[in-house]
Amino acid sequence: MMPARSLSAALLISSVVASANDDAPAGTTEKAPATKPEIKALVQPEKVADHIYRIGEVTIDAEKRTISFPAEVNMTEGLIEFPVTHVNGRVHEAIFITEILPVQLQTALLLNHFETSQETFAKPLDKPYRPGEKLPPPVYPPANPKAHVKVTVSWTVDGKDHTAPLESMLVRQGATPEEWVPYSQASNYWVFTGSTEEMGAKVPDMGGAMVGTRLAYDCILNPLPKEDVAGQTWVGDPDVIPEVGTKVTIQFAPAKQPESTKSSHAKD
């Protein structure tokens, strides 16, 4: 499991990408005029009120430990693999699209004392297996509740405020409507695995995935690895998702889990 990363790691992101921006070709004494904002500036937190900080359009409430950002409804039905993604990301399988950068979101999570966990990804096999040999059951790192994130969506239509958990907007199709299974029946939170591409030179070039329903190393929040969660195909529920084009606010908060479900998916 990757070690937990908090405030110092978040600041490390800034320093790493800043040094990349400062590199100039050998033999030059001046940098070319910047045509894009430096990444360091894009992830620099700004205090706007007591306990409230902002990184771009990402708002951090340090007291409530919430993170919120604006988004827009991109689609209401069809295959959904990354419910929340950047506008230049995998938009053909996303309910919500947003202009915030994944690196801004990951920095905000770290600054707000969420920890990363690799509990969604099975540990490597301890020995090679021949084709046809029976593989042992997957073994996962222990669950870390400090990496578990509740995702909530809020919006306003005709002056009326609405709020819904993200999992209520996803269903697994059955042969009949009565056999459809809501995502909320399988899981009510996501795991902050962090994008493995964010800690190196690929920071500006990430794929944009922020919340996933299938396991992906370049996604910031991954689903549980259980067969009834990551092993299924999920579609949007148009009865719950607001109309395409609706402006929404997405909020991340620490997940509150029933005792019966804690650590149930992970094995030492």
pTM of the model: 0.78
Distances (CA, A) of 150 to 31, 105, 168, 240, 251: 43, 14, 12, 18, 8
DSSP class of 51: T
In a domain? residue 1:
no
Give me the percent of the chain exceeding a pLDDT of 90.
52
In a domain? residue 266:
no
- Between 37 and 38, residue with greater pLDDT: 38
In a domain? residue 244:
yes
**DSSP element (H, E) containing 16:** helix 7-22
In a domain? residue 232:
yes
> 58 forms bridges with which residues in the sheet?
55
In a domain? residue 135:
no
Phi, psi (deg, nearest 5) at residue 92 = -75, -5
Phi, psi (deg, nearest 5) at residue 58 = -90, 125
Closest CA to 114 of 230, 4, 237: 4
In a domain? residue 265:
no
132-139 mean pLDDT: 86
67-87 mean pLDDT: 97
pLDDT at residue 94 in the model? 97
pLDDT at residue 225 in the model? 85
In a domain? residue 51:
yes
pLDDT at residue 196 in the model? 62
Q: Which domain holds residue 179?
A: 10-17+38-120+143-259
In a domain? residue 31:
no
Answer yes or no: is pLDDT of 112 > 80: yes
In the chain, how many domains are there?
1
